[in-house]
Structure formats: C-alpha cells, structure tokens
Structure 1
C-alpha cells in the first residue's frame, strides 16, 4: 500500500469513528485540495448539526460530501422535480448532471432564487432528488470565453477528476520532519517590470509563483532553466500559483506544459477565464506580427484543465507543507495577494502581486490583514520617490477636460488601455460622465478584447464593488451595456469609417502600444493635430507607449493589417492622466506596508525599474526600521 493510500485509510477510519452509526460511509477519496466523502446518506450528513465542520477541523481538510449512485433518482425525474421546485423568475438556463459525482449544475440568471432563503430551495432539491445542487450564474453579458471554458471543463470531466485525484495524493504524501529552511529564488521581474516569476522552496515542496513575459522585450523570459526551476525537471514543481491574469504574470504558464509540467495551477475563477482569453490573444498577436509563438493553443487548454479555482479567504492545501490563501489585491478582476503558510507555523510569506490599495469604481482596495507574515514580496511599479498619482476625482476631472477640448476641436480621443481592468474602470467613468452631461454623449468604440473582458467581469459580480454589483444584478442598470459602447467588429474597414466620421472616443488594446489594434488607430489618427491620444496606465521601459509618452513624434508601426513597417509622423495631442493605474502609487505602497497586520519583518521590492525598487526599499527601511531588499534576478533568499 502506498503512503497516500495509508493516509487515506487512516482518514477513512477517523471519518467512520466520528460519524453516527446510522450514516454509511461508502468511500473517501482525495480530489485536489479537498477530501470527498461518498455516502448514500448525504441528507443525513447535511442535517447533522456541525458534523461536516467538526470533521473538517479534526482532519484539517476541506470536505465535500456527495451522494452515491444508489441515492440518486433518475435524471429525467430529477429534471422535472428541480424545474417544479425552482421559481420561474430564477431564469434557469440549463441543468447539467454529472453522474460520476452526483452533482447537478444549475445555471440561472438569478442564483439567489435557486438557493432560496437560508438555502431552503437547495435543501428541498437535494432531499427530493438526491443530487447535490451547484449553482452557477448566467453572465448578464454574453461571454464566449466563460461559455467556452465551462463547456471545455465539462467535456474534460473524466480527465480532470484523474488530475485532481493525482494532485490530492501528491498534496497528502508524507513529509520529512518540520521544514528547517524556506528559500525564495527570483526568476524575473527584479529591477524591471514584467516576466514575473518566483520559486518558493522547502525541503519537501517547490511552488512557482507567476510566469509572465516582459512587455516590449521579445525573448526576455523568466529564468526557467535555473537549477531552482525547471532544470530539476518540471515534475519537481508541486504547483503553480497565479496572482492575476495580466500577461506580464501569466503569458508563459502554458509553456510549462510544453516542457512537461502536469501539475495544478491555483488561482481565482475569474483569473482562470481571463488567463485563457489573454493567452489565446497573445498567440494571435504573435501570428499576425509574424513571430513564432512560444507554445500552441493546446497548451492553453492544458493550463485551463489543470487549474483549480480558489476563493478569496479560503485556506487551501497545495503541498504537503504549504497552505495557500488568496485575498483581494484590488488590481484587476480576480487579482490576489497570495499568502503562503509553511509547515506547522514554521514561516509565512505573502506576495502582493500587483496591488491597488484604495477602492476604485470597479473594485475594493487590496487586503493587507493576515494571521502571520514574516516576509512580504512587494510590487514597486510606482515605487519611485516622485511616483505620486493624483486622486481619482482629480484624474476624472483631467480626463473629462481633455475629452471636452478634443471634442470642441472636432477631434477623436484614442485611449490605449489594458483590456482587463483599466478599460472597465474607464467605461464606468465615461458612462457616468455622459449620463450627467459632464462630457458630450458620443460613441465609445471598444476595439480588441475589451468587450469580451467586460463580459467576463459581469460573469463574476461577487468580485466587484458592492454598489456596482448591486446595479448589475438587482437594479437592472448594467453600465457596461450603455448604448454608446459599440464593439469594433468590422476590422480595418470599420476602423477607417470611424476615423472618417464624427468625434468619438476609442478604447483599444494594447495598453502599452506593443501591438494589436492600437497600431492601426495610430496609422489612421496619428497625423491629425485635432485628435488626442491619452495614456491612462503604466508604460514600461522599452515599449512604444513609453517612447510616445516621452515625446517621440516619429514612430515605426508594424502589424498584421498593414505594411510590414511604416513610419508615421505623430501630430496628435499626447496626454497622460495619472490616477487610473491599477497599481498603488508610492504613497499607496507605503501605506499598504504601514497598515499591514502584522507588519512583516522583511520586504523584498520587485516588479519595478531599478530606481523604483531601490528608492522604495530605502524608504521602507528608513520609515519602518525593517529589513528591505531590491534583488536582482536569480538571487536566492533563505528565510529560516
């Protein structure tokens, strides 16, 4: 009997000892970080007060109770019973039965009506048909990504269960004695913005945190072949943890599967969907620009298949000696501050990922309250001593003033923005400003992935700010569906028509002007001094966006829709509006550390240029008397 089998047998014995005699335990198995208990008496288990929570506390496991096949009524009768139980107003779109797990997935426009008061409707469903109901929300905006991901995972259920079982056995393998060291190796994003990647190691486990590219620097990838990383073999990595979906953190995760990695990826559900969207677009852009992509779409599907969603605040076992908890980072939808609890209270490390400390129109600000943290790995994008952004109200005034001035000239406003995060923030600002009359109501054209990314936001309203969630779900006032927002879906011909037409606003990717439809818009609009180009997000060193922002007025454009290379003279107005970045500025970063509970002993400053990481590191040391570092790539820290 293998060690995992021995562990499972011990767990089953404990479950049977802790369960009343009238409840039969059919089987117990690992499924990823969860322990799954199959029983013909699932209803009795649910009705026994505190039985499952007490088992979870005793076993220190997340527990899922499922009915055995014999406890289920046939599917046709179950459909009829469920349909008659759920009120019509819930807007049920689909019932999907998983015969292997005894779960029925109920997709509905209003999940609250499916759940019922205190879960009464779900209890009634389970009691009448035996199946365990799981409720998913129908996105208020149609999203091909959400639909495709759900359908793909449904098709891959059998293989995915095999993956989860294998992962569960790996997590529950025996360990050596208490870990006597914890190490962190930097594989990228040190003294630079982009190619985020770290290896967190103990004697028993190795975790890869993020694996991104570097904007504007083709070929500069994380040091994955380092001895601490894939040089030891891809299967030496227990898990990948992804903080958020932006490509400088996620772009190269599929390449791990090309190299032979076959383990789990832990991230939030919206990050999983956005990751797939951005990675497929990454391949598409590379093909259009004549570059050889580093992986194929099959590896993107492999990554999705191996992803295990984690909800904010849930403590999740990801290795024999490491527990992960994700918290809202305030940066983009689903972005997480990742907290790692190592050993039995041995050491705690938190990675900020990218954070925004204060609330925005779209998201709540980053969480910085933890049970314990000895070391914080902190982003430093705006860590320079002069990197102070205007507050959001002032930023919105500047934005509206620039739009009004361009409109008075008869010009168009071109805003390159990240498809995920900044675009949705700007859509909320523009919708309100037009509704209140602060700016003229003109068409707002969405080019690239922006509309699809926006639809994914509405599929996960629980991750949005309360007031925005309320508007979308309960007040039938989805601001993202305002009639002025129009998708550019007619290619270059439609872009030309828009360029020849009346004043308008164009939101387009890419945010750093490194490719995508913004290149076409520069070709069409750049030579007209009545037009305005407005930067609202960080422009990394080496990107065309940074060059334009610094005043370069002769640029070379190359994309799949025009000549191989073309010189364009920029005569349009160039504006930079601070305050819309998804990153905390210098004050926000300092406040995040100052108010962090508990305040860490060490801070490692990463994800910023050399000046920013150095100045933030020095300031944190002087203000808070803590040990700080601004490492180079390929440095290793031993914490204990």
Structure 2
C-alpha cells in the first residue's frame, strides 16, 4: 500500500489521506483546517494528480474531516463517496454552515476565493453520497480486484466510523477519531476483534496524560459541582461547546443532573449551529438507532434561545446556564460574544468541556490567569479576568493508553500515526518502540509518499 498525507501541516487540521491499494485509489476524508484561511485551509489535492479517484471514504462530519469534500467531489466526479448512515444525515447541514461562514469571512476579511464551493456543490454531494450501515461490508471494483469496505462505530460523535479495508486478504484499519467510553448520547467504539496488517491510528491525545484518579465520572462530578456552586452564588455559567455532538451530549447531561438534583433548576440558554443539530440527532435516533437522543430534552430543560447580547462588559441580564457554540470561543461566535459580557464579573464561571487549540481565544483564555487582561480582538474590547475559568476532561477522543492498547491487541505489522500534533505523535512513536519494537511505525511527512 502507498500512502500520502495530503494535510499541508503536520498537525490536527485538514485531514485527508490518499491510499493506493492494488489498482484502487482511495481518499480518506477531505477536511478543512480551522487555523488557516482560503486555499491554505484545504489539503494539497494537487498530489492526487490526473489519475482518477475510485473511492472517497468519510470517517465523520467534523469540518476538519469533511470541510473540503464538495471541492474534491467537484474535481473528481468519477469517485464513489461513502459514509455511515448517520453521517449522511449530517454532512450537508454541516457544510451549509461552513458555506455561510465563508460568505461572511469573504466580506469581513476580504478573502477573495471564498466561498470555496457553492450550495449547488453541497446539494450534488448530498445526492451522490452512499450511506452504508455499520457492520455491512461493501465491495468496490471488479471481481478478483475487489476492495472490501466496512464501517464500524467509533464513538466520538454521531456517525463517526472506523473503517476496515480488505484487499487480497490484507486488512487495513483506519480508526478515524475514536472514543471507546460510552457517552450519554452515544455508545463507545465497537471495533472488530481481529488482527490487522496495518492500522492508521489517530493520536489526538498523545501528549495528554490522564491520572489514575481522573475519569470521565470524576470530571463529570467536578463539572456539575462547578455549575451548582456558581448558580447558588448568583452567577451564570458559560459552557462553550462544539456544535456537533458536544452540545447534544451536554444538554442530556444537564437534563439528567436536574432530574437527579445534582444542579438546581435554572434557565438554559442555547444558540448556534448545535441547537439546530438537535433535530438531526433526533432523526438519527429514530431512523438508525445510532444515538440515544430525543429533542424532548429541550422541553424538559426549558431551553431558550438568545439573539441579542448586551454590550461587552455588561453582564448577561438573565442568570443561568449559557450553552453556546463554539467550543474554542472562536471569533464571531455566540460563546465568544457571551464571554465578553461575562468574563469581568467574579460570580460567573466559564467551563470548557473539550479540547482548545492554544492559538484560539479559548486556548488563550485557559493559558491566562485571574486578573490578567484579556483582549477580544474582533470586538475591540479588553477586560480583567474575574470569572472562574475551568476546563474539564470530557473529551470525545480516546486516551493515549487506550489507543496504544487497541493497536497492540490487533498485532499489526505496521502502524501509521495520524491526526495529532508533533508532540502527540512522538509519544506514540516512543511507546511503540518500547512495547513492540517489531512494529513498523510511520509518522508521515505531509506530501511525501510512503510504502507501508
């Protein structure tokens, strides 16, 4: 098998990998890098060359895996595009939101090439995508040269899939983004218990060590305690959340916590794409059973929306829980605007429940200290950090030891490191060298081709 990482940067970003397996040319994901703008944000598709693509496989619908898919489909209409059934529900909606963001950025930042695709491109993609049920093998190619493809639930987020490829008895497994632990809305990964020749392994949490006394349960309890204490002392809680998966998970967690008396009843205010995706999760639950979610959670919590915010520095007028996109306080999003209102008031709390890139406003806030000045650049507003700032390890990604143990248990000849920053990949490289030096480990440099 030949492998080329099309991501321009050796980090989490525009995930896209070209595999050449026998006569088959297969693209895994077609993402967009949230740190970059314009064509710099997409994979280097020039490396695909003039030869046709046979197959495009989507692991899940976060934009770092999905965001440039309409472009590659437009340029390679000959390719079959396959994904899990839940991902088929979500893909077009996520891409329409990305299109709208690019339209806004075109005006605000004068990015002439935006939007990189049209609504017609999204519609065309939605029409040709092939949804494949989990666990159902599909064959692609001609007899004697078949490539067998099977999607398996990967946890992480609705529709996320690990993918098994089989060609002439050689088995390749792509983990995609994976979480082995059950969430309230989604079971953990259910990967096949068999040996693989090659594993392409996500490494997101490679530099994050979870202490023995820290678990999802203890972090959830600490999170609810912070909410409870903040509300009881007259403050409001801002929970920046990723729209896809995390908002629906936290809504369910808050509903359960109110039922059990772990937090007091309080107004729950939501806004952003995540609230719209509630209906999609409800449909996925009813039609596929792949998630455990019902939109009645909104009624049970009495969720309200917010369309107008006070001026930066003026506290939110209604005390409560503000569950808002985006999870990293990205500029122009509801959570970014709400933070500018809440940060200066000591009774409030900002609770991060997922990963924050250090270069985003959320990452910068987490690296700051109490009473530091914090600048909201796009609002031209600076204030002292007086609210409590907390981060809780409720990640949608598996711990590094879980990923290592999964890979070792499948006895691969080769492992390819993917979807991680250099420090994360380095930990896995060292760990495999220690525990299984016979395994060939490849940490691909972008744009270089490897024989695996």
Contact 2:35 2:41 in 1 (8 A): no
Matching residue of 1:251: 67
Contact 1:251 1:279 in 2 (8 A): yes
1:232 aligns with 2:46: no
**Which of 143, 146, 163 lines up with 1:338 in the alignment?**
163
Matching residue of 2:443: 630
Provide the rounded CA distance (Å) in 2 between the counterparts of 1:464 and 1:571. Answer: 42
Provide the rounded CA distance (Å) in 2 between the counterparts of 1:463 and 1:613. Answer: 35
Q: Specify the SS of the correspondent of 1:491.
A: coil
Provide the rounded CA distance (Å) in 2 between the counterparts of 1:190 and 1:340. Answer: 26
1:414 aligns with 2:234: no
Shift of 1:276: 1.3
Cα deviations across residues 371-407 of structure 1 (Å, max 9, x unaligned)? 5521111111101263559312101111011112211
1:586 aligns with 2:400: yes
Distance change >3 Å, CA 535–CA 500, structure 1 → 2: closer
1:551 aligns with 2:368: yes
**Which of 205, 222, 246 lines up with 1:382 in the alignment?**
205
Distance change >3 Å, CA 400–CA 495, structure 1 → 2: farther
Shift of 1:482: 3.8
Contact 1:380 1:605 in 2 (8 A): yes
Structure 2 matches for 1:86-105, cutoff 5 A?
A: none
Shift of 1:318: 3.1
Normalising by structure 1, we get a TM-score of 0.64
Larger radius of gyration: 1
Provide the rounded CA distance (Å) in 2 between the counterparts of 1:190 and 1:349. Answer: 24
Structure 2 matches for 1:195-234, cutoff 5 A?
A: 195-219=14-38, 220-227=40-47, 229=48, 231-232=49-50
Matching residue of 1:576: 391
Provide the rounded CA distance (Å) in 2 between the counterparts of 1:463 and 1:524. Answer: 40
Contact 1:416 1:508 in 2 (8 A): yes
Contact 2:32 2:43 in 1 (8 A): no
Q: Indicate the structure with greater helix content.
A: 1
Q: Specify the SS of the correspondent of 1:407.
A: helix
Matching residue of 2:418: 606
1:362 aligns with 2:180: no
Shift of 1:249: 0.4
Contact 2:19 2:27 in 1 (8 A): yes
Structure 2 matches for 1:319-338, cutoff 5 A?
A: 319-320=141-142, 321-338=146-163
Q: Specify the SS of the correspondent of 1:420.
A: coil
Contact 1:431 1:479 in 2 (8 A): no
RMSD (CA atoms): 2.5
| Aligned residue pairs, count | 433
Q: Which runs of no fewer than 5 residues in structure 1 stay unpaired?
A: 1-181, 473-477
Distance change >3 Å, CA 387–CA 636, structure 1 → 2: farther
Matching residue of 2:427: 615
Shift of 1:308: 0.4
Contact 1:191 1:630 in 2 (8 A): no
Provide the rounded CA distance (Å) in 2 between the counterparts of 1:259 and 1:569. Answer: 49
Provide the rounded CA distance (Å) in 1 between the counterparts of 2:405 and 2:280. Answer: 31
**Which of 314, 337, 340 lines up with 1:520 in the alignment?**
337
Shift of 1:267: 0.4
Cα deviations across residues 536-572 of structure 1 (Å, max 9, x unaligned)? 11112422221111117422343xxxx5x54454432
Cα deviations across residues 224-271 of structure 1 (Å, max 9, x unaligned)? 3343x1x325xx111210000000100110112443535321001221
Provide the rounded CA distance (Å) in 1 between the counterparts of 2:382 and 2:215. Answer: 37
Q: Specify the SS of the correspondent of 2:101.
A: helix
Distance change >3 Å, CA 619–CA 371, structure 1 → 2: closer
Structure 2 matches for 1:189-200, cutoff 5 A?
A: 191-200=10-19
Contact 2:89 2:284 in 1 (8 A): no
Q: Specify the SS of the correspondent of 2:162.
A: strand
Provide the rounded CA distance (Å) in 1 between the counterparts of 2:339 and 2:413. Answer: 48
Distance change >3 Å, CA 432–CA 456, structure 1 → 2: same
Contact 1:529 1:571 in 2 (8 A): yes
